Copies of this chain bind each other. A is one copy, B any other.
Amino acid sequence: MEKIIISTNGNNEIIDITPKVKEIVEKSNLEEGICLISCPGSTCGITTMEYEEGLIEDLKKTLDKIAPVSSDYLHCQKWGDCNGYAHIRSAIIPPFLAVPIENGSLALGTWQQVVFIDFDNRPRKREIYVTLIKSISSKKNND
């Protein structure tokens, strides 16, 4: 398993991690299989999107509608921990994404990037895990 370390600003920052994931996949010599991209944290998410300034803001607005940034969560009232919205967003967009590998590279669309979203209400250092799996028809691999 390989790891990517990133520093985030929290507060729903959306970060394009595609280049770093691609590098790991290409170094592995795995020809065909699955790449699981994940993070051990309950206030973040991993998904795909066209990484474009307009859409980044559009997605933030939609998330604000689904689970508003506010202290009106029991998590805050009980524990004084006012990132309840971040936990809820992470349950809806969890930090676990499996992407296929084809011809030794991530099988993504041209306008599709793998993004890490740090929902937490403060800057964080995050470890992203990249786990590689060989498919049954893969011919070339380093296993």
Binding site for B on A (CB under 8 A): 1, 28, 30, 32-34, 36, 38-42, 47-50, 52-55, 57-59, 62, 65-67, 73-79, 84, 87-88, 90-100, 102, 107-109, 111-112, 115, 129, 131-137, 141-143
Contacts and interface: CB of A to CB of B under 8 A. Distances in A.
Give the secondary structure class of A's interface.
mixed
- What is the copy number of this chain in the assembly? 3
B28 A59 contact: no
10 contacts: A33-B131, A33-B133, A33-B136, A40-B112, A48-B90, A54-B76, A54-B78, A62-B66, A100-B129, A136-B142
A47 B78 contact: no
Given A1-B135, A54-B74, A55-B74, 15 more contacts: A38-B98, A42-B48, A42-B109, A47-B91, A47-B92, A49-B87, A50-B87, A53-B78, A54-B75, A54-B76, A55-B87, A92-B92, A94-B97, A132-B135, A132-B137
